Amino acid sequence: MTAYIVSVCKVTNFTDDLKKYVEISADLVKKYGGRYIIRGEAADIIEGEYLQGRPVVVAEFPSLEKIKEFMNSDYYRKEVWPLRQGTGIYDIATYEEGA
C-alpha cells in the first residue's frame, strides 16, 4: 500500500551540512522507490500560523516498509542524518494511503 513520509521543518541554522543533507537525502528517496510530492514552503497560508516559514516535505513511497528501509539504513543513520543535527526542529510522521 502506498505510504507517505511527512516532515514539517523549522530551520534555525541553515548550514553547509544541511545543504548536503538535502541533496543526499533526495538521492536516497529515489533509491528506495520514493518521489517528492511537496518540498518547500506553502504558496499561501490559508489559516493559522504554525506553517508560516516552515518548509513541508511530503515523499511518496511504495510502502511503509520502503520508508523504514530508507530511514533505518546504516548509511542514512550514520552518515546522512547527522548532517542536519543542530539545524532546526523536524516533526516527521508516516501515513498510509487511505488510512
Instruction: State the total domains in the chain.
Output: 1
Residue 98's pLDDT is: 83
Asked whether 39 and 46 are in contact (CB, 8 A), the reply is no
Q: Which domain holds residue 9?
A: 3-96
pLDDT in tens, 33-74: 999 999 999 999 999 999 999 999 999 999 999 999 999 999
Residue 59 sits in a domain whose CATH number is: 3.30.70.100
Give pTM, 2 decimals. 0.91
Cα-flanking dihedrals φ and ψ of residue 10, to 5°?
-120, 95
